[in-house]
Structure 1
Amino acid sequence: MYIATDTLAAFVLAAELGSFSAAARQLGKRQSTISESIANLEIDLGLRLFERSGRQPQLTAAGQRLLPSARQTLAAQDALLLEAQLLADGGDTQLTLVLSDTFHSGDFEAMLAAFAARFPTLALECLVGEQEDVLALVRSGRAQLGLLSGQGAYAADIASCTLARPTQLARYVAASHPLARLAQVGDDDLRQYRELRLQPYHDQAAPDDGRICWSAPSYLLLLEMAQLGFGWAALPDWLVARYGAGLQPLPQPGWPRQLRIDAVWSRQRPLGGAAAWVLQRLRQD
């Protein structure tokens, strides 16, 4: 029995979002198409995957049992396609990447040098984004490949892999800030001063927790605000080391923190040869 990637993605995404219509919106298809794909999958498997008697579809016991295997199958297909695209390695005229400031610039610069030698005539466009902004650019097709701080999980329309080198974040303030004079910093101390918070364009605003807060969609903007003494911010250590003169880390339990860096791409738009090469190179570094 052959099960198409689109059918598996529809099943997984409908299970994750709890709605056929939400899965359709995410995949850019009609709800009727998603419903028909899942119904045909149930016929092929001889199992009912969703209970449809309520307002929203609910996974049956069989659906719950098969969901992890469906995710694993999608991941295996991603690996197969990536290898095939590396072997094909042709036809690309431009590559667009969207990068988080959590991705170490030293790794990026080394990749660029190798990329220029490997693809001397290929146009390259680099965008900057964080979290949901990266995912939105990849989903829309504006970027073929995105790099971002690792999320807990990704929707079924997004393929991902983790890069070899993680990043590290610490909380920073300007040396002239009152918090910089404390030998130990606690949450009560932080609440007395302005937080400089990352807020991507496509992410919902964080709930009001009573903190004084300024927000920006990039770590570099937050770094500049912190340098000017406007508050404290969680920032990538490499970014501060390169651009953050006058900033110092706050001595706080649990900080600094390590974050993994993930590469993401759309299962609706398989990677071309150049993007597959970049991904392989970043995974090896």
Structure 2
Amino acid sequence: MQSLNTITLHYLQAFVLSAELGSISAAARALGKRQSQLSGWIQDLEAELNLELFTRSGNSLQLSPDGHTLLPLAQHALAQSNRLQAAAYALQQHQQLVLVVGVAPHIPQQLLTDAIVSFIQEQPQVQLRISTHSEEVLTQGLVEGVFDVVLLHESIELHNSRYDYCRVGYYDEVFVVRSSHPLAVKPSVGVEELAPFRELIWAQDYQQSADESGYSGHSSQIADFGTLKGVLLKTDCVALLPTLMVASGIHQGQLALLRVNNELSTIRRRLELRWPLGSQHKTLISCWLRLVCQTLNNPDSDTPPDR
């Protein structure tokens, strides 16, 4: 085999796109190149590696066994190249004056209070904009450059070449009712006992919450948390809410914690930060990531007291 130093990113891109799109012609259209040019790049790559990457039969193009083995490595090499270029571009940019942060629904923004305070103190000249959007909007907006950083619930993906990410921190959720609720005096509650009571859902994003259903046969979705808490204190509704947001009500005796039989362990929601490839080298994004990681990796205890 000849030296791999002569392999260019063009060759790898032609190989990866042809494999992902199923044909060299489709890959050529995606890259805005001639089909013959991509065919030549793939043939050059096969010659460099001394391996057949595709099996060809008429108009059919299929990955060879060797191609299947090398495809994920080629994809990873391209992703690392994209990160290198993105980091270089980020280092060339002037200091930005606005940091735009997106937060997924149901994540209590109070978790970010210490990070926000520290950021304002460290970057007094910078505007900080934090808003709530669906996870779909946040992910797409991150790729399109609408958001600098987003905070979402943890993904099951082990790797993604579209953005950089860090799994960090968590928050807990608990079932609560007003202290005079008929179920408040019970040491534990079965799910069938919850069914007669309306469930209040903290629905910051209606579209994302429209299909949510809990243990009750009927529910009310309320975007403003203050309004939701007010309704909860004046009715026999139940709600599953972040512990951080109801801990004071429990401490003050306004709200009571329900222990549901099939939720004996803590309902824990883990979190994930995402940002554009390489942008952690930008001063503001680097500062925000550092402060949020410090805050979320050392959360204050928000466990409500036993009744």
**TM exceeding 0.5:** yes
1:13-32 correspondence to structure 2 within 5 Å = 32=29
The alpha-carbon deviation at position 240 of structure 1 amounts to 1.2
> What is the CA–CA distance in structure 2 between the aligned matches of 1:61 and 1:230, rounded to whole Å?
63
SS in 1 for 2:128: strand
1:1-285 correspondence to structure 2 within 5 Å = 1=7, 3=9, 32-33=29-30, 43=42, 47=53, 90-100=94-104, 102-103=107-108, 105=110, 108-129=112-133, 131-139=135-143, 141-153=145-157, 157-163=162-168, 165-199=169-203, 200-201=205-206, 203=208, 205-206=210-211, 211-216=217-222, 222-229=228-235, 231-242=237-248, 246-252=254-260, 253-267=263-277, 270=279, 272-285=282-295
The alpha-carbon deviation at position 186 of structure 1 amounts to 2.1
Contact 2:53 2:64 in 1 (8 A): no
Are residues 103 and 205 of structure 1, via their aligned partners in 2, closer, same or farther at CA, if it must alter by over 3 Å? closer
Percent identity over the alignment is: 20
Deviations 1:49-89 (A, max 9, x none): 9xxx99xxx99977875676578668867886897789778
SS in 2 for 1:120: coil
Cα RMSD of the aligned pairs, angstroms, is 4.8
The alpha-carbon deviation at position 155 of structure 1 amounts to 6.5
> What is the CA–CA distance in structure 2 between the aligned matches of 1:211 and 1:159, rounded to whole Å?
40
SS in 1 for 2:284: helix
Amino acid at match of 2:286: A
> What is the CA–CA distance in structure 1 between the aligned matches of 2:135 and 2:67, rounded to whole Å?
30
User: Which runs of 5 or more structure 1 residues have no equivalent in the other structure?
Assistant: 21-30
> What is the CA–CA distance in structure 1 between the aligned matches of 2:246 and 2:293, rounded to whole Å?
24
> What is the CA–CA distance in structure 2 between the aligned matches of 1:171 and 1:149, rounded to whole Å?
19
> What is the CA–CA distance in structure 2 between the aligned matches of 1:221 and 1:68, rounded to whole Å?
50
> What is the CA–CA distance in structure 2 between the aligned matches of 1:32 and 1:166, rounded to whole Å?
44
Contact 2:87 2:279 in 1 (8 A): no
Amino acid at match of 1:120: P
Total equivalences in the alignment = 259
SS in 2 for 1:160: strand
Are residues 77 and 230 of structure 1, via their aligned partners in 2, closer, same or farther at CA, if it must alter by over 3 Å? farther
Q: Mean alpha-carbon deviation: is it higher for 149-158 or for 271-280?
A: 149-158
When the two structures are superposed, what TM-score results if normalisation uses the length of structure 2? 0.61
Deviations 1:182-211 (A, max 9, x none): 321222222222223355345373277882
Amino acid at match of 2:240: A
User: Which runs of 5 or more structure 2 residues have no equivalent in the other structure?
Assistant: 1-6, 23-27, 47-51, 296-307
> What is the CA–CA distance in structure 2 between the aligned matches of 1:132 and 1:259, rounded to whole Å?
18
Amino acid at match of 1:262: E
SS in 2 for 1:227: helix
SS in 2 for 1:166: strand
